[in-house]
């Protein structure tokens, strides 16, 4: 009888201990979710300030904005990397590893991702994080003025300061790795100069001969209408119709205007687009809108359960660019999409597009010809623009060049890769906003994104999606549904390699991209 009581007592004690343990874990989870909410709030406010600065904020407000953003970035960094926050995440990791006390898949992903964010941020002192935000905010304001004035000299010191700080941060994050590789990996997990070099070699082997063949034997279509004047007011109205055409809910987004088109995801139900309108180049705005809409739809398609957690947002810039480039090129420049696109163009610019037919428009928006501006480059020559920037960034990080060398290097590589002279820095090394924000290592993801995008097409077809039919009808719902299921919903819960394999049934393979370019442009130019 005594032994039975002892067993019952032991069982009761064990049950009570288990209950205490569970209560302890539940308490820790509540604290973790509260921490995520506080971090999210600061990130949200920083995004608002950044978006405002690039769109509607007055030029003379840059200094005040830099101070405010620096302080806010410092608060975010302190909160993320404090001993209390780090120990909280570590305690949950221990509960996960030892005994599997946590079995919620989403929570497990949150713990893993925030833990990684902490490890990477903790090596950077808070005062440096604050100074970095101030520096890039100030640099962005200077860049806007420099681009307009064709004044590289005013922006040059900021590039050197930014590169020096990035090299320093890379050293803190991983002293054993090449600093440029550290930043490539930040934008695309697993990416390195070695892997991107191999990718470039594969792409160049396809692209360069095609560019030469088109130049020698291809006949360029007449497309004067592309540069006919379309008033700014008409283009603004057209922009909203284009956003609706590709599938954006206008209640989830807004449109602003800036020097360099971009988009930003703020929250579930809030993703914003900024574009630049040229009255003599309506098509530039058309494809900027469609491109940025791809980014916005990705952010808006994240699982709503991830709202205000560290899983909200896109997983990598390569995946992000795969979505923007998919809508811009695979959809937006397809023959099938010309009908719905032409309908919008005729509605807002009938005097220009009223007499243009679908075939004419298709050939016009797919002209392959070396050009100066990356954002307006055709699909075929686009990766060569990326390679120009990649070459310069590598040299800067290797100590083989400084900012004063960039204009000459830019002109040299533009001649080497695209065979065209650069008339000024505004249309040369000042054309992109990325360096002012410290985004060195970002450019390669544009080319990777296009290559990811090429893999999605056969995967969609295998899953029964009629991509051509959807483009022709102007109803892209089946396309968005497939992307939502395989890419968008996962937010930051899955890294790019896992997403690609899950969506396409195989690891990344650049041959799909090369075949796509080869087939499309050989047919277009009857080579």
Note whether residue 127 is domain-resident.
Answer: yes
In a domain, 160, yes or no: no
Find the CATH number of the domain harbouring 472: 1.10.1370.30
Q: Establish how many alpha carbons lie within 13 A of residue 483's alpha carbon, considering only the half-sphere containing its beta carbon.
A: 30
Q: What is the pTM of this model?
A: 0.92
**Do residue 230 and residue 339 come from a single domain?**
yes
Residues 316 and 206 in one domain: yes
Question: Could you read off the pLDDT tens digit of each residue along the chain, which spans 527 residues?
Answer: 555 556 665 555 555 445 556 788 899 999 999 999 999 999 999 999 999 999 999 989 999 999 999 999 999 999 999 999 999 999 999 887 666 678 899 999 999 999 999 999 999 999 999 999 999 999 999 999 999 999 999 999 999 999 999 999 999 999 999 999 999 999 999 999 999 999 999 999 999 999 999 999 989 998 999 999 999 999 999 999 999 999 999 999 999 999 999 999 999 899 999 999 999 999 999 999 999 999 999 999 999 999 999 999 999 999 999 999 999 999 999 999 999 999 999 999 999 999 999 999 999 999 999 999 999 999 999 999 999 999 999 999 999 999 999 999 999 999 999 999 999 999 999 999 999 999 999 999 999 999 999 999 999 999 999 999 999 999 999 999 999 999 999 999 999 999 999 999 999 999 999 999 999 999 999 99
- Sorted by sequence, the CB contacts under 8 Å of residue 29 that are 6+ apart come out as 92, 102, 107
Report yes or no on 222 lying in a domain. Answer: yes
CA distance 333 to 366: 7
The two structure tokens encoding residue 315: 């997983």
Structural domain including 81 reads: 2-152
Residue 17 resides in a domain: yes
Q: Which residues contact 242 (CB under 8 A, 6 or more apart)?
A: 286, 289, 290, 293, 344
Domain boundary among 152, 185, 211: 152
Query: Is 173 within a domain?
Result: no
What's residue 96's pLDDT? 78
* Domain assignment of residue 158, yes or no: no
Q: Is the domain of 201 the same as that of 140?
A: no
Q: Is 77 within the bounds of a domain?
A: yes
Q: Quick check: 346 and 234 in contact, CB under 8 A? A: no
Q: Tell whether 142 and 232 lie within a shared domain.
A: no
Residue 88 pLDDT = 97
198 and 147, same structural domain? no
Please check whether residue 510 is in contact with residue 516, taking contact to mean a CB–CB distance below 8 angstroms: no
The per-residue pLDDT for range 96-148, each reduced to its tens digit, is 766 667 889 999 999 999 999 999 999 999 999 999 999 999 999 999 999 99
Residue 507 falls inside a structural domain: yes
Number of domains in the chain: 2
**Long-range CB contacts (< 8 A, 24+ apart) of 53-59?**
53/137, 53/140, 53/141, 54/140, 54/258, 54/259, 54/260, 54/262, 54/274, 54/433, 55/256, 55/257, 55/258, 55/274, 56/256, 59/141, 59/144, 59/145
> Are 453 and 326 a contacting pair, CB within 8 Å?
yes
């Amino acid at each position: 009888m005594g032994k039975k009581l002892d067993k019952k007592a032991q069982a009761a004690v064990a049950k009570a201990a288990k209950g205490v343990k569970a209560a302890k874990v539940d308490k820790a989870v509540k604290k973790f979710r509260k921490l995520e909410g506080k971090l999210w709030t600061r990130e949200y406010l920083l995004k608002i300030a950044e978006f405002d600065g690039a769109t509607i904020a007055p030029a003379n407000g840059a200094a005040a904005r830099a101070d405010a953003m620096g302080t806010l970035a410092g608060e975010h960094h302190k909160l993320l990397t404090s001993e209390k926050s780090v120990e909280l995440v570590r305690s949950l990791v221990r509960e996960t590893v030892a005994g599997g006390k946590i079995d919620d898949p989403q929570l497990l992903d949150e713990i893993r991702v925030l833990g990684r964010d902490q490890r990477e941020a903790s090596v950077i002192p808070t005062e440096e994080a604050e100074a970095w935000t101030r520096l890039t905010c100030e640099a962005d304001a200077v860049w806007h003025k420099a681009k307009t004035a064709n004044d590289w000299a005013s922006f040059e010191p900021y590039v050197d300061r930014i590169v020096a700080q990035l090299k320093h941060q890379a050293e803190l994050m991983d002293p054993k790795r090449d600093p440029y590789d550290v930043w490539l990996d930040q934008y695309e997990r697993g990416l390195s100069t070695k892997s991107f070099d191999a990718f470039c070699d594969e792409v160049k082997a396809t692209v360069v001969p095609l560019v030469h063949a088109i130049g020698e034997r291809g006949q360029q279509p007449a497309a004067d209408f592309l540069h006919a004047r379309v008033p700014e007011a008409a283009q603004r109205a057209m922009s909203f119709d284009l956003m609706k055409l590709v599938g954006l809910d206008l209640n989830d987004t807004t449109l602003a205007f800036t020097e360099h088109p971009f988009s930003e995801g703020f929250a579930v139900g809030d993703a914003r687009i900024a574009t630049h309108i040229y009255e003599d180049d309506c098509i530039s705005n058309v494809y900027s809108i469609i491109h940025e809409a791809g980014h916005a739809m990705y952010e808006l398609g994240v699982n709503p359960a991830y709202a205000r957690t560290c899983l909200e947002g896109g997983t990598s810039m390569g995946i992000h660019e795969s979505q923007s480039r998919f809508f811009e090129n695979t959809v937006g420049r397809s023959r099938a999409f010309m009908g719905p696109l032409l309908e919008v163009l005729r509605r807002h610019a009938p005097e220009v597009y009223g007499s243009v037919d679908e075939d004419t428009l298709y050939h016009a928006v797919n002209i392959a010809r070396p050009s100066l501006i990356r954002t307006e480059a055709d699909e075929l020559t686009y990766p060569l623009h990326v390679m120009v920037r990649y070459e310069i960034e590598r040299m800067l990080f290797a100590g083989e060049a400084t900012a004063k060398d960039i204009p000459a290097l830019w002109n040299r590589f533009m001649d080497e890769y695209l065979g065209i002279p650069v008339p000024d820095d505004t249309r040369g090394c000042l054309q992109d906003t990325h360096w002012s924000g410290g985004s060195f290592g970002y450019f390669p993801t544009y080319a990777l994104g296009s290559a990811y995008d090429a893999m999605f097409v056969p995967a969609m077809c295998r899953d029964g999606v009629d991509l051509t039919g959807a483009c022709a009808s102007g109803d892209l719902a089946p396309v968005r549904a497939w992307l939502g299921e395989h890419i968008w919903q996962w937010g930051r819960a899955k890294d790019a390699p896992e997403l690609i394999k899950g969506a396409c049934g195989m690891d990344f393979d650049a041959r799909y991209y090369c075949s796509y370019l080869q087939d499309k442009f050989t047919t277009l130019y009857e080579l």
